[in-house]
Amino acid sequence: EFQELANARGLAFPTAHTNVVGMGGFLLGGGLGWNLQKWDISCRSVLGAEIVTADGELIQVNEKEHPDLLWAIRGAGPGFFGIIVRYHVKMYPMPRAITKSSYIVTEEHIPMAVEQLQRLAKEKDINAEILGVLKHSADIPGMPKEGIAFIVSVIAFADSAEQAQKILAPFAASPIADKAHLKKVNRPHTFSELFEGQLITDATAPDRTSIDNMWTDNLGNAVLKMVDILRESPSKRSFVITVWGVNPSKRTDTALPHFADDYMSYYALADKPEHIEPNYLWMDKIKATMDDGFAKGHYINETEFVRYPEHIKQCFTEEGWKRLETLRTKYDPQSVFHTYIGYS
């Protein structure tokens, strides 16, 4: 709704990639939104807020008033010690030619696609967003019934069709396009149409068991590891999302820090109740593998709090975590608000 209202006025905002995610929690946890390589992580577009504190006072938060809280609401997530009743955010001109190309390769070509994406992510235009999804091939119409498939989607947030095609041209000229089993190239989109093409991944999805994630500077090798792990998933509907060349800014005025330039999240889905416990064991294997040399940090909005509470602290730098706890003592000395799950 927010995106539609903004678009009708010629404006846009880096909202979540699915249209079922509410703005409040999304921004409080940081927010990995559309066009994030150009517009940055969404909480960095938060200019201020109105907050009810633990003692019931309504205060204004911005760069001049309570700037320490402005830092905190840009990424603190569900452990925040106040109630945000209104945000003030920076808006952006609506891209006039949002254009998407998608390529789906079979498992045998995934190493090639990974190698190409490592190169293309470094060379791409800042207005290009690269999303890669690992899925069981049988879950994709028109694909082989065995193995893992890799869906590579590139979205150009351009101001003209010509600019969009220029942005997408390096991908169309790459071996990924040549080896694609299925492809759709240079398709104009609205934001509403982008939403329709996304997998539903939020916590209200009835089939979701668990989700976890990592920031990494070794995404290529992580993807190759995940191909083998995904093959063993209890449900064939589980999947992995990767974001290449995010390159978030290294701003220090947000609780959400910079860990690495690439991102991966993993989703365990259940077709039936019997899948749930095996799904958790499957996620344990992913965690053990990715925590061993791949993960540089985590993103609090897509972290498995209950099973891996240690990942919450790893969503912040050590200095940032200490600063949040100091602010909690200052603004909520009586612990009116719950802290993070697994912490007291």
The predicted-structure confidence for 282-315, as pLDDT tens digits, reads as follows 999 999 999 999 999 999 999 999 999 999 999 9
Of the pLDDT bands very low, low, confident and very high (cuts 50, 70, 90), residue 68 is very high
Q: Does 87 score more than 70 pLDDT?
A: yes
Q: How do beta strands 208-216 and 83-89 pair? A: unpaired
Range of the domain at 143: 97-196
212 is a domain residue: no
SS3 191: helix
Query: Which has the higher per-residue pLDDT, 198 or 136?
Result: 136
> 104 and 159 share a domain?
yes
Q: Which of residues 161, 196, 231 is at a domain's end?
A: 196
Residue ranges with strand state E in 161-309: 182-188, 208-216, 239-244, 262-269, 295-297
Q: Which of residues 73, 93, 113 is at a domain's end?
A: 93
150 is a domain residue: yes
**pLDDT number for residue 200:** 56
The predicted-structure confidence for 219-254, as pLDDT tens digits, reads as follows 999 999 999 999 999 988 899 999 999 988 888 899
Give the pLDDT mean for 320-325: 98
**pLDDT number for residue 205:** 57
Return d(Cα 305, Cα 311) in angstroms, integer.
Answer: 7
Nearest Cα neighbor of 247 from 82, 113, 122, 76 is: 122
| Domains held by the chain: number | 2
> 56 and 129 share a domain?
no
Return d(Cα 172, Cα 180) in angstroms, integer.
Answer: 10
Distances (CA, A) of 47 to 53, 70, 268: 18, 8, 35
283 is a domain residue: no
Rounded to the nearest integer, the mean pLDDT of the chain is 94
Question: Could you tell me if 308 and 266 are in contact, meaning their C-beta atoms sit under 8 angstroms apart?
Answer: no
183 is a domain residue: yes
pTM: 0.94
DSSP state of 305: T
**pLDDT number for residue 175:** 99
Strand partners, 98: 157
Q: Which of residues 196, 220, 248 is at a domain's end?
A: 196
Give the pLDDT mean for 200-229: 85
Residue ranges with strand state E in the chain: 11-12, 46-52, 58-61, 83-89, 92-93, 97-105, 128-136, 148-158, 182-188, 208-216, 239-244, 262-269, 295-297
**pLDDT number for residue 198:** 61
263 is a domain residue: no
